Chain A
């Protein structure tokens, strides 16, 4: 079991609503990445936060946004939910930025979002 925790584990939202997912990174890690894993597919990179700043973004619309806090925990916010946003959302924490990058990214167990 990694030190990365995500909450909630499951939730159901209605189309058009907004949702916030949370991730606590592993102790000592300063980088959090978020991924969307649709059913039967591989995870897709949404964005990464390093020291509270966005540090790279995948091919996702602006209604996907995030935050990273001084303790390096992170939130993923999705506005105007669509049915296709139903997926497992994974976060991964790692140590990055100017240091010898020999640490791996540790994944949380994910939040399963269902949009109805």
Chain B
């Protein structure tokens, strides 16, 4: 069985400040981990994914995430927030590198203040 916990349903950051979104996972098999972004009234867009090649994963729009097996975490960061980063972010786990049959966390909504 797999599960994902995202700490904090809402995060507010100032433009230019660090964005940190927390994700912890539980998996009985080696996990593949994903971060998706969802803008209002839209589907999900893949930001980045961990597929065991490297523990530090760089994604689109300046985001990156670090896989820490000892902490069962896959936190998402961006050094400097932009207004366009305001969206909802979902962490997900799968037993497939292609991201099939994803198990999602509850999501974190990011608000960016000018």
A-B residue pair count with CB separations less than 8 angstroms: 72
Q: A107-B44, A107-B45, A109-B43 are in contact. Are A95 and B98 (CB under 8 A)?
A: yes
Q: Is the interface of B mostly helix, strand, loop or mixed?
A: loop
The 0/1 profile, CB within 8 Å of B marked 1, for residues 6-47 of chain A is: 000000000000000000000000010101000011111100
The answer to whether the Cβ of A90 comes within 8 Å of any Cβ in the partner chain is: yes
Q: A41-B106, A42-B106 are in contact. Are A105 and B42 (CB under 8 A)?
A: no
The answer to whether the Cβ of A66 comes within 8 Å of any Cβ in the partner chain is: no
| Inter-chain contact A42/B99, CB cutoff 8 Å | no
Q: How far is the CA of A95 from the CA of B99 in the complex (A)?
A: 10
| Inter-chain contact A101/B96, CB cutoff 8 Å | yes
The interface size bin for chain B is: 20 to 34
| Inter-chain contact A48/B100, CB cutoff 8 Å | yes
The interface size bin for chain A is: 20 to 34
The answer to whether the Cβ of A84 comes within 8 Å of any Cβ in the partner chain is: no
Q: How far is the CA of A35 from the CA of B98 in the complex (A)?
A: 16
Q: How far is the CA of A43 from the CA of B90 in the complex (A)?
A: 9
Q: How far is the CA of A96 from the CA of B97 in the complex (A)?
A: 10
| Inter-chain contact B99/A104, CB cutoff 8 Å | yes
Interface residues of B in 79-112 (CB under 8 A from A): 90, 92, 96-107
In the bound complex, residues from chain A placing their C-beta under 8 Å from that of B4 are 42
Q: How far is the CA of A34 from the CA of B73 in the complex (A)?
A: 26
| Inter-chain contact A43/B102, CB cutoff 8 Å | yes
Interface residues of B in 38-95 (CB under 8 A from A): 41-46, 49, 51, 90, 92
In the bound complex, residues from chain A placing their C-beta under 8 Å from that of B101 are 33, 45, 48, 56, 58
In the bound complex, residues from chain B placing their C-beta under 8 Å from that of A102 are 51, 97-98
In the bound complex, residues from chain B placing their C-beta under 8 Å from that of A96 are 96, 98, 100
| Chain A min CB distance to B11 (Å) | 15
The answer to whether the Cβ of A68 comes within 8 Å of any Cβ in the partner chain is: no
| Inter-chain contact B43/A42, CB cutoff 8 Å | no
Question: B residues bordering A, Cβ < 8 Å?
Answer: 4, 6, 36, 41-46, 49, 51, 90, 92, 96-107
Ordered by A's residue number, 11 sampled pairs between the chains whose C-beta atoms are within 8 Å are A33-B100, A33-B101, A43-B44, A45-B102, A56-B101, A94-B100, A96-B96, A105-B102, A107-B36, A109-B43, A110-B42
